[in-house]
Amino acid sequence: MTGLTIQNHPCFNEHAKGKWGRIHLPVAPHCNIRCNYCNRRHDCVNESRPGVTSTVLRPRQALEYLEQVTTKMPNISVAGIAGPGDAFADPVTTLETLRLVRERFPEMLLCLATNGLNVAPYISELAELQVSHITMTVNAVDPVIGSRIYPWVRVGKVIYRGLEAAAFLMERQIDAIKGLKKHGILVKVNTIVIPGVNDDHVRDIAVKVAELGADIQNCMPMYPNAGTPFEAIPEPTPALMARLRHEAGEFIQQMNHCMRCRADAVGLLDDDKCAEFRQCLSNCSKANSTDTKARPYVAVASMEGMLVNQHLGEARRFHIWACTEDGYQLVELRDAPEPGTGTERWRWLARLLSDCRAVLVSGLGETPKKVLEESGIMPIEMTGFVQRGLEAIYEGADLSRWKGRRQGCAKGSGCSGDAMGCG
Ligand code: SF4
Ligand code: SF4
């Protein structure tokens, strides 16, 4: 696969849709806002609509899945993350998936779908990873109309409701479109047309997003999902959709061939192979996401090298062990990244330990645990002899006696996961 360009993206170039396919990697199950038409059922195999997938993958499982699919379908030109939730409700997972795909498939077009609430802080990273296309759903540019669609949005631990929520979301979407365009990323705006709610507003949305520099708009008829506040609103008619697209088309190019794909869609737009690859997807979701050949070592947080007796955040260096024909051998001492750079510290650590299959620590917080796991490094919380931990990793010995017996730390209960270290 060489020299893929926008021309090879079947959603952005209608002429490519019979030749080039896309794959959606379902790694984003959570969402940070609530849309009144959304119903995400991860286990539904029969429905074909956004938000649905038969399973959810972790980043390494997604890479494995992509490798298997592309062996059979070399014409996959785009790997995208389109839910089932929002790609930036959990940016660590999304970015890790993109990073893995970019490393393994340097030519692959990368694409993301988001509601836009939390994309702005990650735009430079997306540009570095050469993400070329972003789809952002913009259903209103007037907070009053927006407040009928979004009951709440969540930012960190704060939940905004009503008008405030809609206004906040719109502000973030505007900033995000501007930022993405500044970085040369193609922006497709999806607008879900909801009769009686925003159908008279589609023209205003087109005007606004065109002014912000968005490249194309995809007006999609709302699917009245059972069990949602909008379930009784009928789907817009083809005639209404044609009129709205025509009106909006005066201001911004329109996409007319969207298939409203599932979050695990795969293949050509007109010939989805999701059913064919369902077993493969399911197998990958059960696979151990650690590649042991590429990860011969085990990292240990230890003061003197004999005992596992340091929390992840307090270790200033890691003892790197290997299993050789002559037994376990200490290979090197590796300096840990400096504290104080937030989540980036744990990502950096994951890169630093990218040849390790596990890290033995006396404790760690939820954030570093997640970052390491998603990078294919198994964090093992234990105390006692390093030897015991190595036996558990390399020989499958029982570790239960040594697990969870956290040793004295000034803070008592382990790292807070705030990336600031334990000191
Ligand atoms: Fe559902 Fe997407 Fe809306 Fe989140 S942003 S609630 S996943 S439709
Ligand atoms: Fe392309 Fe539409 Fe399918 Fe997204 S939902 S992959 S834009 S056809």
Instruction: List ligand 1's pocket residues with C-beta within 6 A.
Output: 31, 33-35, 38, 40, 51, 83, 85-86, 115
* Model pLDDT, residue 420: 32
- In what helix (H) or strand (E) does residue 280 lie, and over which residues does it extend? helix 278-286
Q: Is the pLDDT score of 417 beyond 60?
A: no
Residue 42 has pLDDT above 70, yes or no: no
Ligand 2 atom showing the smallest separation from residue 255 Cα: 7
Banded pLDDT at 374 (limits 50, 70, 90): confident
Catalogue all structural domains in the chain, each as residue range(s) with its CATH number: 6-285 (3.20.20.70), 297-402 (3.30.420.130)
Going from the Cα of 24 to the center of ligand 2, the distance in angstroms, rounded, reads 9
What's the whole-number mean pLDDT along residues 200-210? 97
Cα distance between residue 61 and residue 88, in whole Å? 19
Task: Pick the range with the lowest mean pLDDT from 27-41, 136-150, 228-242.
Answer: 27-41
* Residue 346: closest CA among 96, 26, 94: 96
Average pLDDT, the chain: 86
- What local confidence, expressed as pLDDT, does residue 338 receive? 86
Q: What is the pLDDT of residue 39?
A: 82
What is the whole-number distance in angstroms between the Cα of residue 356 and the centre of ligand 1? 36
CA neighbor of 383 nearest in space, from 339, 414, 352: 414
Give residue-wise pLDDT tens across range 248-271: 999 999 988 877 788 888 988 888
Are 248 and 202 within 8 A, CB to CB? yes
Q: Does residue 404 surpass a pLDDT of 70? A: no
The residue nearest atom 3 of ligand 2, judged by CA position, is 261
Give nearest CA residue, ligand 2 atom 4. Answer: 261
Confidence of residue 406 (pLDDT cuts 50, 70, 90): very low
Q: Any idea of the CA torsion for 97, 351, 106, 29, to the nearest 10 degrees?
A: 0
Instruction: Name the nearest CA neighbour of 84 among 338, 284, 261.
Output: 261
**For range 48-65, the mean pLDDT:** 79
Res. 48: pLDDT tops 80: no
Q: Taking every pair of C-alpha atoms in the chain, what is the biggest distance, in angstroms? A: 75
Backbone angles phi, psi at 19, to 5 degrees: -115, -40
Average pLDDT over residues 213-234: 92
Mutational test site, ligand 2, from 269, 271, 273, max ligand atoms within 8 Å of CB = 269
pLDDT tens-digit readout, 284-300: 887 665 556 678 899 99
Is a pLDDT exceeding 60 seen at residue 340?
yes
For residue 246, pLDDT over 90 is answered with yes
- Give per-residue pLDDT as tens, 319-336: 999 998 888 999 999 999
Say what the alpha-carbon torsion angle 336, 341, 347, 351 is, to the nearest 10 degrees.
-40
- Testing ligand 1's pocket by substitution, the residue of 33, 37, 39, 173 carrying the most ligand atoms inside 8 A of its CB is 33
Query: Has residue 1 got a pLDDT over 70?
Result: no
pLDDT band at 396 (very low <50, low <70, confident <90, very high): low
pLDDT of residue 40: 72
Mean pLDDT of 339-356: 86
More confident residue, 400 or 32: 32
9 vs 323, more confident: 323
State the closest ligand 1 atom to the C-alpha of 32, by its place in the atom list counted from 1: 4
Q: Which of 114-128, 198-212, 325-339, 394-408 has the lowest mean pLDDT?
A: 394-408
Highest mean pLDDT among 170-179, 278-287, 362-371: 170-179
Q: Is the pLDDT of residue 141 over 90?
A: yes
301 neighbors 312 (Cβ within 8 angstroms) = yes
| Residue 202 confidence (pLDDT) above 90 | yes
pLDDT for 414 beyond 50: no
Q: Could you tell me how far CA 211 lies from the centroid of its own chain? A: 28
Identify the residue whose C-alpha is closest to ligand 1 atom 5. Answer: 115
Give the up-direction half-sphere exposure of residue 263: CA atoms within 13 A in the CB hemisphere: 30
pLDDT grade for 403, boundaries at 50, 70 and 90: low
Tens of pLDDT along 81-102?
Answer: 987 889 998 888 899 899 999 9
pLDDT > 50? residue 405 = no
The CA distance from 265 to 284, in Å, is: 15
Residue 410 has pLDDT above 50, yes or no: no
Taking the model in full, what pTM does it have? Answer: 0.70
How wide is the angle at C-alpha 148 spanned by C-alphas 145 and 149, nearest 5°?
Answer: 95
pLDDT value at residue 413 = 33
